[in-house]
Amino acid sequence: MGLSELREKIDSLDIELQRLFEERMAICDEVAREKKRTNAPVLQGNREQQIIDAVRGRSSEGFEQSSVDFINSIMAISRGRQKKLLSNSVTIPSGNKVNAVIACGGSSSRMGFNKLLHEIDGRAVILRTIDAFDKLEEIEKIVLTASADIKTELERLISNEGYSTPVDIVEGGSTRQQSVANGVSATDEDCDYVCIHDGARPFITADIIRSCISDAKQTGCAVVCVPVKDTIKQAEDMVVTDTPARETLFAAQTPQIIAKEIYLLSLESAKASNKEYTDDVSLCEAIGIMPRITNGSYDNIKLTTPEDIALAESIAKGR
C-alpha cells in the first residue's frame, strides 16, 4: 500500500473514530438524563480524564508510543462536542443589563494592613474601584462580597459617598469562587451579564470596562488581559521543560465579564466535579466556552504587596 493510500486510510479511520466517539458521548448523555429522571445517583467527574485513563489502561496492547497523539485527539473531540452541546442549549443574551460583582476578599497578609481601606492619594482603594463602575450607565447595580471583619467599615465608607448606582454588600465565602458565587446570587434576577472585578484593582478605566462588555456579548464571556513582557519558562523540579512563545501569552486581569446564564451553568459544573477556580472565566473554559480577550492596561495593577503602594501612588498622581 502506497503512502497516499495509507494517508487516506488514516483519514477515514479518524472520521470513523470521531463518529464512534460522538455516538459514545450521546449514549453517555442519555444515561445521565435517565439517571436524573429516575433519581438514580449520577457519577460526576472529568469525562476527558476518564477517557484518558481508559485509553492508558489499554495501551499495553501495543500502541504506547502513539497513545499520546491518540489521547490528544480524543480530548479535542470531547471539547468540540462539549462546545457543540452548549451552543445548542445556551444562547448569548441580547440584553444589555449588567451588574458588577466586586470581590473584596483576601486576607491582605502580604500587605500587612487591609489594602482595600488604605488610602491612595487621599482616597480609599475600594472607593476608587467603585468609582470606576458608578460612572458607567451600563452598570445597573454593584455588589461587593466582603468578609465580616471589614463589612461594617465598607458600609460606613459607602454611606458617605452618595453613589448613583445601588451598592449592596454580601458576605464572601472561604474561596474566591464561593465569594463571587455569593455576589452573583445577589445580582438582579433579570441581569444579562455579570462583571466580576477585584476590589484591589482601583485603576480600571471606563473604556476598558465598556470594551470588555462589548467583547462578552460576542462569545458569552470576556477577560481583560495584557501581553506578558517577560519570556516565560515552564519547569519541573527547577529544570526548564518548555519556553512558550511569548506572543501567545497574556496576563489575565479583571474585569471578567460572563453572561449570567453561562456563569451559573459553569458554576454548577465546577461544583459537580469538585473544582475550585481562582480565575472566573476558567469556569467557562472548563465547559468548552472560550472567553474573548479584551486589551487591558499595565496600570490596571492589583495591589498585593507593599511595593505596589508606591506604584499606585504614582499612577494616581499621574491621573
| Final residue in a domain of this structure, among 89, 119, 136 | 89
Number of structural domains found in the chain = 2
Does 146 share its domain with 175? yes
153-184 pLDDT, tens digit per residue, is 999 999 999 999 999 999 999 999 999 999 99
Does 68 share its domain with 142? no
Give the pLDDT band (50/70/90) at residue 227: very high
Residue 137 identity (one-letter amino acid): E
Does 75 share its domain with 104? no
Does 85 share its domain with 225? no
pTM of the model: 0.73
The whole-number pLDDT of residue 159 equals 92
Answer for the pair 238, 260: CB distance below 8 angstroms, yes or no: no
Does 179 share its domain with 196? yes
Does 198 share its domain with 282? yes
265-314 pLDDT, tens digit per residue, is 889 888 877 889 999 999 988 887 889 999 999 999 999 999 999 999 99
Tell me how crowded residue 304 is: count the other CB atoms within 10 A of its CB: 14
Domain range enclosing 107: 98-318
Does 164 share its domain with 247? yes
The whole-number pLDDT of residue 44 equals 42
Residues contacting 80, CB < 8 A, separation 6+: 288
Of 129-138, 215-224, 286-295, minimum mean pLDDT range: 286-295
Query: Cell 501612588 maps to which residue?
Result: 313
Q: How far apart are CA 97 and CA 125, in angstroms?
A: 26
Nearest to 260 by CA among 206, 181, 204: 181
76-112 pLDDT, tens digit per residue, is 555 554 555 455 566 788 899 999 999 997 656 566 6
- Report the CATH number at residue 236: 3.90.550.10
